[in-house]
C-alpha cells in the first residue's frame, strides 16, 4: 500500500483530505457585507482557489474543517438573504456542482477545440452553436451564479 494512503487510512480518505486542502485555499477575509455579493464572491474564490481543484474535489464528500468553513460562510450568506433552510442547502449544492462543472470544462479546454463541437442534424443546437463554443468562462460564471442566486 502506498505510504501516503497508509497514513490517510484509505484512498477515499486521502481524496477527502486533498479536497479539503484545495478548499482551504478559499479566503474568507475581506468579503462584501451584502449577502448576494458575499455569496457570489465566495463562489468566485472557490472557482479560482486551485488550478486543478475541480478535478480533485469532484467526487469527494469532504466533511473537513476548510470545506465546512467555506460552506458555513456561503450558507450563512444565503440564509441572511432570506432563503429558507432548504433553499439555502439546495442552492449551496447547486452552486457547488455548477462551479465544479465549469472549472472542469475550463481546465479541459486546452485539450479540445470549439471545432470539436459538431451538432450534425440537430437544428436547435446548430442555432446556439456560436454560444456553446464560446470560451467566456467569466461571463458564464456570472450568468450561472446570478441565475442560481436569483430570488
Question: How many Å apart are CA 67 and CA 20, to the nearest integer?
Answer: 6
Give me the CATH code for the 3-149 domain, please. Answer: 1.10.357.10
Q: What is the pLDDT along the chain (151 residues), one digit of tens a residue?
A: 466 556 557 877 777 787 787 778 788 999 999 999 998 888 888 767 776 677 667 777 778 888 889 899 999 999 999 999 999 999 999 998 898 888 877 777 666 555 667 778 889 988 888 887 777 888 988 899 999 998 7
Q: Where are the domains of the chain?
A: 3-149
DSSP state of 109: G
Amino acid at each position: 500500500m502506498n505510504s501516503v494512503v497508509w497514513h490517510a487510512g484509505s484512498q477515499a480518505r486521502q481524496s477527502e483530505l486533498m479536497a479539503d486542502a484545495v478548499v482551504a485555499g478559499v479566503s474568507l477575509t475581506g468579503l462584501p457585507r451584502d449577502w448576494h455579493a458575499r455569496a457570489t464572491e465566495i463562489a468566485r474564490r472557490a472557482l479560482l482557489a486551485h488550478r486543478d481543484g475541480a478535478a480533485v474535489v469532484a467526487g469527494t464528500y469532504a466533511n473537513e474543517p476548510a470545506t465546512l468553513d467555506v460552506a458555513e460562510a456561503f450558507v450563512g450568506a444565503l440564509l441572511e438573504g432570506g432563503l429558507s433552510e432548504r433553499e439555502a442547502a439546495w442552492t449551496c449544492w447547486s452552486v457547488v456542482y455548477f462551479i465544479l462543472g465549469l472549472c472542469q470544462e475550463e481546465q479541459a479546454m486546452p485539450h479540445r477545440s470549439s471545432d470539436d463541437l459538431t451538432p450534425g442534424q440537430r437544428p436547435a443546437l446548430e442555432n446556439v452553436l456560436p454560444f456553446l463554443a464560446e470560451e467566456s468562462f467569466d461571463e458564464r460564471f456570472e450568468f450561472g451564479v446570478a441565475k442560481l442566486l436569483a430570488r
